[in-house]
Structure 1
Amino acid sequence: MKQTTAIKIATGVAAAAIGGLFLYSRATRPPVINAKVPQPAKPVDLTRYTGLWYELARHENRFQKNMDAVTAEYALEPGGKVGIVNSGLRAGEDERDIARGQAIVADTETGAKLKVSFFGPLYTGDYWVLDHGDDYDWSIVGEPGGRYLWLLSRDPHPAADQLQTLFRRIEALGYDRWALRITQHEPGPE
């Protein structure tokens, strides 16, 4: 009888902890900056999408708070999965924060919608490539809830006119460009 009571208490504590984590994650999500997230503009060839990307701007979120020099690297893995390594430097720190994850294609017709997990199979998030350059030199990434947005580029220091063109494209997709935080990278060569 004592063992049954202990199991019930342990189960209750575990359920409360999971519930608390769920409520915390819901309470700390960024606000919606696009109530009408569009469908991805074009298909994505994951072979061309793989490689190193530099984050140019993002809608600030708790897991990247005060982070600059942010990169994302994607690699095709066996079984059609995509390996992910995100990293960046937090203000005042010298060592990069690194997060490793995996993605699977959720929309095999276009390849533009993926399910991403950094915490194992219990939590997955949507990753939509809303638009990208024909040469895969830039990418705008979001998710269907309109809370997250990233502007990625192969070049950490694109020309000012190209950057303005990308911000206009973000606005055309229905996002408030002024809600984005510009990501700082080490200065490029003069």
Structure 2
Amino acid sequence: MKPFLILSISLLLSGCLGMPKSVTPVENFQLDRYLGTWYEVARLDHSFERGLDNVTATYSMREDGGVKVINRGFSAEKNEWKEAEGKAYFVEDSDQGYLKVSFFGPFYGAYVVFELDQQAYEYAFVSGPNNDYLWLLARTPNVSEEITDQFIAQAKQHGFDTSQLIFVNHD
């Protein structure tokens, strides 16, 4: 019974580390180039960011070799900034854009970089464990129409419902 309990708990805690079937993490990922602040340009709606504008994600190194994650956004309705601190670690190889991120103790979710401006690290397309989680991140609050079109086309190809995209206001 004890091995079954341990296996069940392990599966529960790692259950959100999958990724959409057609999504593949980028290779030749360089964490040191990915660190810093990213602006959320577009996302699919979910409860933990609902109603937030001016959303950013800032990544820095942790002492244990992981990544410190600070997500920040402004709620106009409440007239206040919301901030969440998390941690992330590579799931497989450190040169693959596939990490697990946690904002709630031992519970991790997938963070999959499936498209990345490999030359300048200026934009990234990111998914979560399934097709309900999708982000377009960039080093600036706005991206070109070409990048937006590429993001929407790839997201559709991977089965995301792009009709539900929210384009984040940055002012």
TM-score norm. by structure 2 comes to: 0.80
1:128-186 Cα distance to aligned partner (Å, 9 max, x none): 11111112110111123222111101110223333223322323333232221111111
Report the alpha carbon displacement of residue 108 of structure 1 after superposing the two structures with TM: 1.4
**Counterpart of 1:166 in 2: which secondary structure?**
helix
| SS class of match (2:149) | helix
Say if 1:52 and 1:35 are closer, same or farther in 2 by CA, change over 3 A.
Answer: closer
Instruction: Give the gaps of 5 or more residues in structure 2.
Output: 1-11, 13-18
Cα distance, 1:106 vs structure 2: 0.7
SS of the residue corresponding to residue 155 of structure 2 reads helix
Q: Which has the higher strand share?
A: 2
Match of 2:76 in 1: 91
Aligned residue identity for 2:76: A
Partner SS state of residue 118, structure 1 = strand
Of stretches 84-93 and 169-178 in structure 1, the one that deviates more from structure 2 is: 169-178
What is residue 7 of structure 1 aligned with on the other side?
none
| Corresponding residue to 2:114 among 127, 130, 133 | 130
Q: How many residues align?
A: 153
- Other-structure match for 2:8: none
1:35 shift after superposition: 5.9
Structure 2 CA distance, aligned partners of 1:44 and 1:84?
A: 17
1:185 is aligned to: 170
Kindly, what percent of the aligned residue pairs are identical?
Answer: 33
SS at match of 2:104: coil
* 1:41-120 superposed matches below 5 A: 41-108=26-93, 110-120=95-105
Q: Kindly state the Cα deviation for residue 66 of structure 1 after the two structures are TM-superposed.
A: 0.9
Secondary structure at the counterpart of residue 78 of structure 1: coil
Task: Give 1:49's aligned amino acid.
Answer: Y
Change in Cα spacing, 1:79 to 1:136, as seen in structure 2 (3 Å) is same
TM-score by length of 1: 0.73
Letter in 2 for 1:72: A
The answer to whether structure 1 residue 36 and structure 2 residue 21 are counterparts is yes
Contact 1:37 1:145 in 2 (8 A): no
SS at match of 1:96: strand
Displacement after TM superposition at 1:77 (Å): 1.8
Secondary structure at 2:114 match in 1? strand
**Residue in structure 2 matched with residue 170 of structure 1 by the alignment:** 155
Provide the secondary structure at the position in 2 that maps to 1:80.
coil
Q: Which amino acid aligns with 2:36?
A: G
Out of 142, 145, 148, the position equivalent to 2:127 is 142
- Tell me the C-alpha RMSD between the 2 structures: 2.0
Counterpart amino acid of 1:56? V
Aligned amino acid, residue 112 of structure 1:
G
